[in-house]
Structure 1
Amino acid sequence: MIGIFGGTFDPIHLGHLNIAEECVKQLQLDKLFFMPCATPAHKSLSNISAEHRAHMVNLTIKDNNLFALDDRELKRTGASYSVLSLRELKQEFPDQSILFLIGMDSLNTLSSWYHWQEITQLCHLVICKRPGQTFSPSQETLDYLNQATTAYQSDLKEIKSGKAFFLDTPEFNIASTHIRNNLNETNSINQLLPKAVLSYIKLNKLY
């Protein structure tokens, strides 16, 4: 099984890393791909270039051979629609289950995503949550969850796609917005960032 961890990673932080490590450990993934998006369809455009964000991801994951960077969305023109990447991945890994990690905030807006129902058929959704986040999906998403949710990890391997699994992870109260504001306002050392990322931010005067 392979995992896909998408996001702006603006910047990548220890919360992202801990979720990724827990996902690999609990679900026994063969590989987890970090997939930065260039132009997020549901968020405002980042002031930090795609290249900087991808490089910070690489600095974070370079010592873990179960992690890899997938930069296909950085090379694509237009908005970063998840369904386009999942279609490609399904062709590249036809015999593998693809697990798509999303946060509770993304689950709550899932039914507004481009071709969201196709997304749920191309992969399994693995839902992670952070402190303070509420479970408030649309009725359409609730209908999907009612028939797709499984508590059995074995289902994710035996069935190639279509399931939803709520991942039991430590709830790290870390948000990229808070980190950006902290760095911008105080320029202080931020313990929520990998050391290599913090050094890179300071070297390149980001945020």
Structure 2
Amino acid sequence: MRNSGRPLLGIFGGTFDPIHYGHLRVAEEIGEMADLREVRVIPAGMPRLRADPVASLHHRVAMVHLATENNPRFKLDDREIRRHGISRTVDSLREIRQELDGVALCVITGADAFIKLAEWHSWRELFQLCHFIVAARPGHALTISRDDLPRELKDECAGRWVSSAEGLKQISSGLIFIAPTTLLDISATNIRARVAAGKSLRYLVPDAVLNYIATNHLYSGEL
């Protein structure tokens, strides 16, 4: 029987340049595992800690829509695309917390991004706004001892780890769960390189996204 505590809502952000099956499979499994009421898929507008996306805002939103529209658990949230300036997770979490009452927000992130959490804007405040569900990617697995974490982050995370997703339902924010998921070693960088080299994307991205990339000549250098 499911724990009857606080309902959980997933927050899954990224540049999604393009969105691919690696993203989608992790979000699907975590949504099921943690009994998430919904997974908000939030494309970043202007990311603060990485290079600007290759595809335009319009194209990235369109690809996320195509990839998620038939999954009732997923919901495209374009607030960071509509917001002017640098995209900051803390801003989106503040807004969503104001919009939704009684729901615990769970930021879904890869281990490689979580290790750099102390570089995020107002990163300590994030623990007051959300839980973290960390999906380890190939080559970036967090150890049981969390020795991979920088000292500042390791100290902040002490006492926040839970061994199951059910533990996240007990309080509104501040906990961390490492999710055992199927890790597909697919990267958007590799996908863009394959397009530029004229190679197939089949089975790396949904067919609707594959067709959109081809129709709009994305990543190929064509006009």
TM range (shorter): over 0.9
When normalised by structure 2's length, the TM-score is: 0.90
1:115-162 CA-partner distances (Å, limit 9, x unpaired): 000012100011011111254321111112222111132221121100
Other-structure match for 2:182: 170
Residue 168 of structure 1 and its aligned partner are, at CA, apart by 0.9
1:26 aligns with 2:33: yes
Other-structure match for 1:194: 206
Other-structure match for 1:75: 82
What is the RMSD computed on CA atoms of the aligned residues?
1.1
Structure 2 SS opposite 1:186: coil
Amino acid of the residue matched to residue 4 of structure 1?
I
Residue 200 of structure 1 and its aligned partner are, at CA, apart by 0.2
Give the conservation status (yes or no) of the 8 Å contact 2:17–2:54. Answer: no
Amino acid of the residue matched to residue 136 of structure 2?
K
Other-structure match for 2:52: 45
Structure with greater proportional helix content: 1
Residue 187 of structure 1 and its aligned partner are, at CA, apart by 4.0
Tell me the percent identity.
39
List structure 1 runs of 4+ shifted beyond 3 angstroms. none
Other-structure match for 2:110: 103
Structure 2 SS opposite 1:53: helix
User: Which residues of 2 match residues 144-155 of structure 1 at below 5 A?
Assistant: 144-155=156-167
Other-structure match for 2:218: 206
Give the conservation status (yes or no) of the 8 Å contact 2:41–2:77. Answer: yes
Q: Which runs of 5+ in 2 are unaligned?
A: 1-7, 143-147
Other-structure match for 1:117: 124
Give the conservation status (yes or no) of the 8 Å contact 2:90–2:121. Answer: yes
Amino acid of the residue matched to residue 91 of structure 1?
Q
1:161 aligns with 2:168: no
Structure 1 SS opposite 2:46: coil
When normalised by structure 1's length, the TM-score is: 0.96
Other-structure match for 1:94: 101
Q: Which runs of 5+ in 1 are unaligned?
A: none
Give the aligned length: 207
1:180 aligns with 2:192: yes
Amino acid of the residue matched to residue 79 of structure 2?
R
Residue 47 of structure 1 and its aligned partner are, at CA, apart by 2.1
Give the conservation status (yes or no) of the 8 Å contact 1:40–1:79. Answer: yes
1:66-112 CA-partner distances (Å, limit 9, x unpaired): 11000000011111010000001111112101000111111111001
